Amino acid sequence: MEQLKGRDFLSMADFSRQEVLAVLARAQSYKAGETAPPMGGKTLGLLFRKASTRTRVSFTTAMYQLGGNVIDLDPNVTQVSRGEPIEDTARVLDRYVDVLAIRTFDHSELSTFADLCHIPIINALTDREHPCQALADLLTIQENFDTLQGLTLTYLGDGNNVAHSLLLACAIVGLHIRVASPKGFEPLPEIVNLAQKLAHHSQVTVTNDPRAAVENCHILYTDVWASMGQEQEQNQRMPIFAPYQLNQELLSLADPDRIVLHCLPAHRGEEITAEVLEGEHSRVWDQAENRLHAQKALLSCLL
């Protein structure tokens, strides 16, 4: 745990397998009721350029449960909205808060903060990755199967930030991962290559065939077809992504003990049917709750 103190968490690739497992173990302990060491006097800053429900509320609740404080640094009511350079903002916030969670579009903005700040910087979502979500996903899988070994996760849909973090997370901990996306919407090749290099007895597969991808898999995962900032593409993406809808037909091809995950928000009838989202195999609400426990563990480790 001492190795994690003061570290940044910009990507799943920032942590080793042992470090990821250590965070998950602490998250399990907190969820089971273990009392965390008090963080009195510590302050978490939230700098969010994108809308958020689960990330904002779970980080806020986690820090309060740790005994710390939270400041919502809404760009609309700070000098960020008036064009203050990121470099200046970073240098000042570094002297005010103890840890900073940033949710933004351009991943390079996160890197700028990390380069200039001495405090831990956490990726609360960028267009490139969503590693905090992946931590909660791993925690949910571990809860349901009591292991992260010998399992296959299939992700259906856009090769977006969630897919990128899942590729890296699964590779690191030893989960087999298959990503099924339409042609032209696959994950970034450099992320796929990195996942393959990091693979710990894991098979990393990217395909355009959704049926082959879900066959005998243990975890079925999907996300919206158009991420934040891509809403104008929603209508043109619908027919392209239709074969990748997580529905009862695809679900039936998976392992009998399969579970269904979705990072939310969900568009019922688009990337997932209401029947599957609300069905007996869904663990989506446990997954959402686990954002709190995973981020609470992450904060306590970094601080």
CATH of 133-288, one of 3.40.50.880, 3.40.50.300, 3.40.50.1370, 3.40.225.10: 3.40.50.1370
Check whether 221 has a pLDDT greater than 80: yes
Residue range 73-87: average pLDDT?
90
30: its two tokens = 């907190």
CATH of 2-129+291-302, one of 3.40.190.10, 1.10.10.10, 3.30.470.10, 3.40.50.1370: 3.40.50.1370
Residue range 136-153: average pLDDT?
97
What is the overall mean pLDDT for the chain? Answer: 96
Q: What is the pLDDT of residue 37?
A: 80
Residues with a known catalytic role: 103, 130, 133, 223, 263, 291
User: pLDDT by residue (tens digit) across 6-56?
Assistant: 999 999 999 999 999 999 999 999 999 998 888 888 999 999 999 999 999
188: its two tokens = 């970034």
Residues of the chain with CATH 3.40.50.1370: 2-129+291-302, 133-288
Q: What is the pLDDT of residue 125?
A: 98
* Confidence category of residue 97, pLDDT binned at 50, 70, 90: very high
The structure's pTM equals 0.96
Percent of the chain residues topping a pLDDT of 70: 99
Q: What is the pLDDT of residue 200?
A: 85
Helix pair angle (284-302, 131-145), 10° resolution: 120
User: pLDDT by residue (tens digit) across 157-193?
Assistant: 999 999 999 999 999 999 999 999 999 999 999 999 9
Q: What is the pLDDT of residue 289?
A: 98
